[in-house]
């Protein structure tokens, strides 16, 4: 597909400060989220939950794309409309998670490689038929004593680039997601260096494998201290470190950067995105592709009950609007009082 078409899809997803709802939790992950609210993870319950998110009125003003899971892209809304068609009719681009998860990397204790390249060309063709116009592949990198290893960084960059090249061949915009995890006690400087090394290797591989940078979206972590580090950073410090790292390593031709939330609280993820967008010197739109940080309150308001649907939709819309405001650098924390 010519670049301009992929570029137009990517640009439309992040236009007008819109972002992405990552609703692509695998069955295992959504089961963990449901366990936390004591809802049984059955296929009808998973469908009902995704239905409430996707039918939220007004979400299309602030959400430009939704990432679906293999089960979800085949499901239908209450009125019988396939989910991808429902989203597309609202002007929201349907996307699909195509990786098969991060698994132990042979010879590298504590590190992972993401599976899913085998048969990917065929799966992408089917997802295109089902309506997907963008895809997601997530690599995970842990920070620690001599981690991430050069080996882990390299093989994950190679896999991300192979995936991205196959997506573009299929007319699908690849979201390229190299996630430096925040679940240890590393410092913000450790995160900076791990993120910098990861992005450098990634863009080198994307170039080597002839991926058109104008037809991708990058989904990185913010540069942030590990959760267990007592020296937590202010949003201003996170913003400055994140933007510095991205400006050094991400070409200006990339049409958009959409952060993952990675375990930040809902409000933290909004405040930090806002702080980044209050800084000048950004060649790309900087928006969000949040999973947990868009859905935490909504899940709790829903509680698996039809009577909770309206409150859950309100909670989801509130967070999505806050994050769109943050993508424009105009989030006002006072709005949280009415949440
Ligand atoms: P979180 O925002 O919950 O990190 O999820 C985003 C995502 O899609 C991870 O792959």
| pLDDT, tens digit (0-9, with 9 covering 90-100), for 95-132 | 999 999 999 999 999 999 999 999 999 999 999 999 99
pLDDT tens string 152-172: 999 999 999 999 999 999 999
Instruction: Give me the chain's average pLDDT, please.
Output: 97
- Measured CA to CA, the distance from residue 57 to residue 37 in angstroms comes to 24
pLDDT tens string 256-307: 999 999 999 999 999 999 999 999 889 999 999 999 999 999 999 999 999 9
Say yes or no to pLDDT of 71 above 80: yes
Q: Ligand 1 centre from 138 Cα, in Å?
A: 9
pLDDT tens string 12-58: 999 999 999 999 999 999 999 999 999 999 999 999 999 999 999 99
Check: CB of residue 248 under 8 Å from CB of residue 204.
no
Ligand 1, atom 8: nearest CA belongs to which residue?
A: 22
| SS3 state of residue 259 | strand
Region class of 248: left (phi > 0), else alpha (psi between -120 and 50), else beta: alpha
Measured from the CA of 290, which atom of ligand 1 is nearest? 2
Q: Residue 163 sits in which domain range?
A: 3-336
For residue 2, what pLDDT band results from cuts at 50, 70 and 90? Answer: low
Q: Ligand 1 centre from 25 Cα, in Å?
A: 8
End-to-end CA distance of the chain: 43
Provide the 8-state DSSP code for 163: H
Number of domains in the chain: 1
pTM: 0.98
Among residues 46, 151, 62, which one has the least CA distance to residue 105?
151
- CATH value at residue 189: 3.20.20.70
Q: Is residue 219 annotated as a catalytic residue, yes or no?
A: yes
When pLDDT is averaged across residues 204-219 and rounded to a whole number, the result is 98
**What is the pLDDT at residue 339?**
44
């Amino acid at each position: 597909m010519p670049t301009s078409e992929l570029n137009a899809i990517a640009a439309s997803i992040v236009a007008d400060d819109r972002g992405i709802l990552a609703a692509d939790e695998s069955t295992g992950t959504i089961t963990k989220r449901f366990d936390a609210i004591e809802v049984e993870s059955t296929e009808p319950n998973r469908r009902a939950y995704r239905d409430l998110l996707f039918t939220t009125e007004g979400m299309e003003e602030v959400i430009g794309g939704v990432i679906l899971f293999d089960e979800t892209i085949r499901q239908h809304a209450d009125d019988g409309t396939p989910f991808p068609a429902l989203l597309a009719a609202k002007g929201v681009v349907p996307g699909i998670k195509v990786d098969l998860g991060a698994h132990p990397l042979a010879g590298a204790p504590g590190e992972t490689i993401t599976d899913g390249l085998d048969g990917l060309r065929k799966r992408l063709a089917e997802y295109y038929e089902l309506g997907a116009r963008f895809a997601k592949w997530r690599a995970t990198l842990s920070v620690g004593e001599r981690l991430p290893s050069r080996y882990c960084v390299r093989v994950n960059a190679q896999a991300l680039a192979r995936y991205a090249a196959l997506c573009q061949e299929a007319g699908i915009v690849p979201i390229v997601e190299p996630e430096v995890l925040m679940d240890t006690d590393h410092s913000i400087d450790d995160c900076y260096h791990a993120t910098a090394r990861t992005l450098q290797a990634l863009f080198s591989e994307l170039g080597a494998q002839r991926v058109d940078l104008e037809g991708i979206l990058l989904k990185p972590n913010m540069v942030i201290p590990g959760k267990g580090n007592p020296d937590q950073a202010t949003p201003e410090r996170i913003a400055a470190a994140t933007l510095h790292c991205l400006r050094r390593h991400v070409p200006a031709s990339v049409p958009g950067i959409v952060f993952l939330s990675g375990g930040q609280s809902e409000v933290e993820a909004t405040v930090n995105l806002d702080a980044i967008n209050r800084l000048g010197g950004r060649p790309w739109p900087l928006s969000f592709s949040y999973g947990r940080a868009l859905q935490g309150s909504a899940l709790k308001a829903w509680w698996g009950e039809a009577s909770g649907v309206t409150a859950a939709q309100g909670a989801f819309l509130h967070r999505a609007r806050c994050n769109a405001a943050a993508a424009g650098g105009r989030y006002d924390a006072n709005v949280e009082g009415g949440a």
